[in-house]
Amino acid sequence: MPSREIISTATGIKSPLLSQAVKYGDTIYVSGNVGMNFVTSRMAEGDIADRTRQALLNIEATLREAGSGLQNLLKVNIYLTSMQDYAAMNKVYTEMIPDPKPARTCVAVAELPMKTDVEIECTAHL
Which pTM does this prediction carry? 0.96
Q: What is the dihedral of CA 81, 86, 88, 92, to 10 degrees?
A: 100
Query: How far apart, in whole angstroms, are the C-alpha atoms of residue 24 and residue 3?
Result: 6
The CATH number of the domain covering residues in 4-125: 3.30.1330.40
Q: 30: which strand partners?
A: 21, 122
Contact in structure between 65 and 90 (CB atoms under 8 Å): no
Peptide bond into 100 cis (omega under 30): yes
Contact 27, 4 (CB under 8 A): no
Give the pLDDT confidence of 38-94 residue by residue, as tens digits: 888 899 999 999 999 999 999 999 999 999 999 999 999 999 999 999 999 999 999
